[in-house]
Amino acid sequence: MNRSLRWYDYIIINLNWFALTSRSNVLTPLIVPLLVQQFVGEEIKGTYLGRMRLWALMIAILTQAITGILSDRSTFRFGKRRPFIFIGTIVEVAFIVLISTTAGYEGMKGYWILFILYIFSMFGGNINHAATQGLIPDLIPDDKKGIASGIKAVFEIPLPLVFVSMVIANLVAAGNLSEALTLLIFVLVICMTITMFIPEKPRSDPPPMWSWTPFLRPIIMTCIFAIIILGIGKIVNLILSSITFHPKITNFVFIGVIGVLGISLAVLLGVWSGLRIGIGIEIKENPSYLWWVVNRLLFLTGVTNLGSFLIFFVQEKFSTLKLEQAAGPASRLILYVGIFVLLTALFSGWLADTFGKKNLIIISGLLTVFGAGVIIISPILSMTYMGGSIIGIGVGLFYTANWALGTEIVPKERAGQFLGFSNLAGAGAGAIGAYIGGPIADFTSYTLLMAISGCLALLSILPLIKIKDSR
């Protein structure tokens, strides 16, 4: 920055997270699942949603990694990150406009049109995302990163969740998909415009010498990651097809164990191979970073599954709610999650700096699995909202503490690249969970998928043993 840090800089630097998460919480849990359900029907909706999520999120991983490298090298007079935020927003808005027209299609034609448009919207959104996540490492000093990460968590999780639940979800529940997407576009443009006022100065030193190697690595990394997910997904599907399902507790436990093992194996193999290819031999010099990505990916896979298939779970759990009718209760559950993420995030940055980031991450995993259990056993909606509130506390603690830990671990001179590759956790969570979890839910139930998601949040605690922080 070309001046000292001021209080409102924390807000401007983090405001674009509000737009990015609003976009995710409109398209992922509400509009895209309902459109997929309309196009392919009830029997295979989880499987086809999983396929769409897999390829869209592979594009997200690749886009974030390459954008991180490009923005690290950027010599634009307008700054390192802001040009990419502007371009990404414009591209994303254009394809969201086109997505709003797909509701008039039917059958597999509608599905494939939505498939293509959704992938291109992810391309624009993740140019924006990659540049935005480089702002805190670039502009915030180390002793203020906990506070900045706490404010980031407020804009990234609770505020957009509350906004989507109270405003946009009501439009979706009423069947007004075009109006909902129009409002989303307005949010994206306004947040991008304000972000352009960040006092970011151009790069003063010459960038590293140009080489194609840093760009080839993320391409190979994404291909290997996709092959791992496809391979393990195929194995899980073969196991499912070889057994006859009966609604007995032993069958649920067996299939649940298969799901947890399959997803965990995909996480471990995907992170290790992806980072080894994407970053190279240097990953051996920073094992804490590798295990930080594993921790983040396991936790987010569980949480993302809870959100991605939430509307299908509500339809199954409360059978009187059909199609868009489930959007109301689903959005209220999101609202409760958002409120408690907000309440937690307000002081979680201070807690992370004071009591240790790893300690808060452990607590977040325990709270999340407990909240998922409450949602699963709840016979009434009010109890479901209680479980969502507990998950909100866990997620609020995790997002602040985990991100603060990551910005402390990554090399400062390559923060954009390393944090870009960390999207193995962000986008990879949705890809692994949806592609492997969707067929499991179609074969058994979405209740079992919620249980698997809770177990993943609990397992995310184990990688912390391998992470060394500054404390």
How far are the Cα atoms of 26, 35, 47, 270 from residue 167, in angstroms, in the given order? Answer: 11, 20, 29, 37
Query: Residue written as tokens 């009010």?
Result: 382
Cα–Cα dist 400/346, whole Å: 10
Cα–Cα dist 299/457, whole Å: 4
In 308-317, which positions are buried (b, 16+ CB within 10 angstroms) versus exposed (e)?
A: bbbbbbbbbb
* Structure-derived torsion over alpha carbons of residues 129, 131, 137, 139, reported in degrees to the nearest 10: -120
DSSP string, 83-113: HHHHHHHHHHHHHHHHHTTGGG--HHHHHHH
How remote is the C-alpha of 241 from its chain's centroid? 30
> How many other C-beta atoms are found inside a 10 Å radius of the C-beta of residue 108?
12
Cα–Cα dist 108/430, whole Å: 23
pLDDT of residue 117: 95
Cα–Cα dist 118/96, whole Å: 8
Cα–Cα dist 277/272, whole Å: 9
Domains in the chain: ranges and CATH: 7-203+210-466 (1.20.1250.20)
Structural tokens at position 155: 């804009």
Structural tokens at position 263: 């997803």
Contact of 84 with 20, CB cutoff 8 Å: no
Task: Choose among 101, 118, 100, 102: nearest CA to 110.
Answer: 102
Return phi, psi of residue 95, to 5°: -80, -25
Structural tokens at position 123: 């391309």
Contact of 466 with 287, CB cutoff 8 Å: yes
**pLDDT tens across the length of the chain (471 residues):** 566 777 788 888 899 999 998 998 888 878 898 899 889 888 788 889 989 988 998 888 888 878 888 888 777 778 888 999 999 999 999 999 999 998 888 889 999 999 999 999 999 999 999 899 888 888 877 777 778 877 887 888 778 878 888 888 888 877 788 899 999 999 999 999 999 988 777 766 666 676 777 677 778 878 888 898 899 989 988 888 887 766 677 777 888 888 889 988 988 888 888 777 767 777 777 778 888 888 888 898 888 877 778 888 888 888 776 666 677 788 788 788 878 877 887 777 777 777 778 888 899 999 999 998 998 888 888 888 899 899 989 988 888 888 788 877 777 666 666 766 666 656 677 788 888 888 888 888 888 888 898 899 899 999 888 877 655
pLDDT of residue 86: 95
Cα–Cα dist 311/46, whole Å: 11
Provide CB contacts within 8 A for 216, sequence distance 6+: none
pLDDT of residue 68: 81
pLDDT of residue 84: 93
Burial class (CB in 10 A: 0-12, 13-18, 19+), 413: exposed
Cα–Cα dist 315/317, whole Å: 6
If residue 145 lies in a helix (H) or strand (E), which one and from where to where?
helix 145-156
pLDDT of residue 422: 67
Task: Choose among 424, 426, 448: nearest CA to 438.
Answer: 448
